[in-house]
Structure 1
Amino acid sequence: MVLLNYVVMCLIFGTTFLAIKVGIDAGAPPFFSAGIRFFLAGVILFSFMLWKKQARLSLLLHREMFFTGIGLTFGTFATLYWAEQHISSGIAAILSATAPLMVMLLQTGISRQKLSAISWAGSLVGFVGVVLLILPGATTISFSFLWLAGCIVVLFGQIFYSAGAVYSRSVIQRFQDTSPIALNAAQMMYGGAMLLVLSLFTEQVHIESMLTANAILSLLYLVFVGSMMGHTIFYWLVAKTNPVFPSTWLYISPLIALSLGVTLYNEPLYLLSFVGGITIIVGIILINMDGLKQLIGKKVSKLSDISN
């Protein structure tokens, strides 16, 4: 079940980068569209959990929801949405793949959790793959301050994401009697609300720009599939595994994002990028080697019990 959900999450998140780009290219203000996306998704999910009596309104009064919203939603997506005005969806996805390494560093420094040498090696191999992926685009794009600023801003956003991923683990443990879906909905509501406040002070929102076909389709897809499904699965995986394993979708999803960029947006694909993709997959396997061994061991044990 863990591996199946992980694959689904990777596929979903691999498409969201292009969906964001489509909405922004249609004229949707980045902070406003991000805020609407997450606030609506959070309200719908939280209302559903209230109806199922698996959440209480008092959950929204806990500061943990606010801090998680800052990390996983506000800081991460304010930077990503702004950056995709100036860089391609593929480049944004690639740069986002630096988060697992940051997660490992934060997890080791804050939680004092020791990681195996093979996990560190896998993270470094994955990071090399990211460099190989981005290198062709970086060397063929004529210098642009906004392009460079967009790249830096995405990297800065991954610091928020990494901190949120590590912090969310302790939040889940602290609220063990609360569904991860409700926790995810609450933090999205806070993060979305903060994005809307940011939009209020930094953007001029023209409603007609949000009513174009591409903007509407982008928003609907990101609300119901990207946020409600994708981020709920992510939160569930954090609860079932650890902050590092779910975050490694950022090594898989860039390959999906690049493929979509090539087929739908005519973004270039280089041989070096393909090599980088293979390197990333190797890094993923190394990072999760211990977890994969445990999962394989459980599968073998279950098969053995069945045969007996």
Structure 2
Amino acid sequence: MSNKNTLPILVFIMLCFIWGSTWLFIKIGLDDAPPFLSAGARFLLAAVLLYPFMKLKGLQFPRDWRVLSIMIYTGTFAVSVAYGLVYWSEQYLSAGLTAVLFSSFPFFVLIFSHFMITDDGFSVKKIVGSIVGFSGIAVIYVDSIKLENTIILLGTSAIVVSAVVTAFSNVTIKKHSKSLDPIVLTVVQMICGAVSLLTVGLLFENVGDFKFTVKSIGSLFYLSIVGSCVAFVAYYWLIRQVKVTTASLIIFVIPLVALFLDWLVLDQLLSWRILAGSGLVISGVGLASR
């Protein structure tokens, strides 16, 4: 296998592990910090850390307003709206359940890609693979998805909306990827996310609720450096190398990583249902990636 083919595979695997762990770190951080301030601080720190790297590589913010507007537009949706909903929802949902609900993301990518990108539409393998993968996730969490009250219903709905918004943003990025540098794009999106989320947090949350503890600060740095800087740049590089529908299949593997961390950190047992569902997920990814 050539290096050209190997590198995208390695990046795909790395992103699976990084994003599979972020749900747990978000949950940990929310123990000592309100959602919007926590999310805003994450992306502010990520932007501050990534900007010098951007300058070191001799990159500049685009002067073409059309290109900059695409970056701001996708940043507002992919970061501000999508992650704001994720952080808010994880106050009421488990990290694993949140990851599962967000796994509807590839379905929306398929729909948007079909109408927005001429060479990345529907195919039988993509549709069947996505259905098999999502069925596996449903098997794993069939006992966990219980809409017991209004706030849980709102939380689950918010995650699905987040998946729709993220899918649309990523297809938009893929459509214009030739004019969008992944590092500059990431910095602009982080700035948009930080400004919007911190504004909402300062208006509607109590700053005093942000406690400087090992949990909140440790979570903040991990999510900023690894979960944001490294992961976002790597993902936007990946969708320039492969079809966006293939890259989006990372979302099927993320719940498996979350399951492993639940077992490792929280001593959750792996039942036959989890093992069977995991097999379906992996099979779905393999089929849809062909």
Does residue 264 of structure 1 match 2:269? Answer: no
What SS does the aligned partner of 1:137 have?
coil
- Kindly indicate whether the alpha-carbon contact (under 8 Å) linking 1:118 and 1:287 is maintained by their aligned counterparts in 2: yes
Does residue 251 of structure 1 match 2:258? Answer: no
Taking structure 2 as the reference length, the TM-score comes to 0.91
The equivalent residue for 2:98 is 92
Change (3 A) 1:31 1:267: farther
> 1:75: Cα distance to partner?
1.8
- Kindly indicate whether the alpha-carbon contact (under 8 Å) linking 2:41 and 2:194 is maintained by their aligned counterparts in 1: yes
Change (3 A) 1:72 1:268: farther
> Could you tell me how far apart the structure 2 residues matched to 1:153 and 1:45 are?
29
The equivalent residue for 2:187 is 185
> Could you tell me how far apart the structure 2 residues matched to 1:228 and 1:111 are?
27
Deviates more, 1:47-56 or 1:10-19: 47-56
Overall identity of the aligned pairs, in %: 29
Change (3 A) 1:259 1:137: same
Does residue 138 of structure 1 match 2:145? Answer: yes
- Kindly indicate whether the alpha-carbon contact (under 8 Å) linking 1:136 and 1:270 is maintained by their aligned counterparts in 2: no
Q: Which letter maps to 1:126?
A: G
The equivalent residue for 2:199 is 197
**Structural mapping, 1:37-56, within 5 Å:** 37-56=42-61
The equivalent residue for 2:214 is 213
Taking structure 1 as the reference length, the TM-score comes to 0.86
> 1:192: Cα distance to partner?
2.1
> Could you tell me how far apart the structure 1 residues matched to 2:113 and 2:211 are?
39
> Could you tell me how far apart the structure 2 residues matched to 1:166 and 1:271 are?
36
The equivalent residue for 1:117 is 124
The answer for unaligned runs of 5 or more in structure 2 is: 1-6
The answer for unaligned runs of 5 or more in structure 1 is: 290-308
The equivalent residue for 1:164 is 169
Q: Which letter maps to 1:115?
A: F
**Structural mapping, 1:214-233, within 5 Å:** 214-233=215-234
Quick check: which has more Rg, 1 or 2?
1
> Could you tell me how far apart the structure 1 residues matched to 2:64 and 2:50 are?
13
Q: How far does the alpha carbon of each residue in 1:143-184 deviate from its partner, in whole angstroms, 9 at most, with x for none?
A: 233223222211111011101110111232233xxx311212
Change (3 A) 1:206 1:267: farther
CA RMSD of aligned residues (A): 2.0
- Kindly indicate whether the alpha-carbon contact (under 8 Å) linking 1:70 and 1:164 is maintained by their aligned counterparts in 2: no
The equivalent residue for 1:274 is 275
> 1:57: Cα distance to partner?
6.5
> 1:74: Cα distance to partner?
1.4
Number of equivalenced pairs: 282
The equivalent residue for 1:150 is 155
> 1:109: Cα distance to partner?
2.4
Does residue 22 of structure 1 match 2:28? Answer: yes
Q: How far does the alpha carbon of each residue in 1:181-213 deviate from its partner, in whole angstroms, 9 at most, with x for none?
A: 121221121122111122122211216x33111
Change (3 A) 1:160 1:228: same
Q: Which letter maps to 2:36?
A: F
> Could you tell me how far apart the structure 1 residues matched to 2:43 and 2:247 are?
20
- Kindly indicate whether the alpha-carbon contact (under 8 Å) linking 2:102 and 2:159 is maintained by their aligned counterparts in 1: yes
Q: Which letter maps to 1:33?
A: S
> Could you tell me how far apart the structure 1 residues matched to 2:115 and 2:176 are?
18
- Kindly indicate whether the alpha-carbon contact (under 8 Å) linking 2:110 and 2:121 is maintained by their aligned counterparts in 1: no
Does residue 129 of structure 1 match 2:136? Answer: yes
> Could you tell me how far apart the structure 1 residues matched to 2:18 and 2:252 are?
13
Picking from 58, 76, 81, the partner of 2:82 is: 76
The equivalent residue for 1:295 is none
> Could you tell me how far apart the structure 1 residues matched to 2:194 and 2:39 are?
7
- Kindly indicate whether the alpha-carbon contact (under 8 Å) linking 2:62 and 2:68 is maintained by their aligned counterparts in 1: no
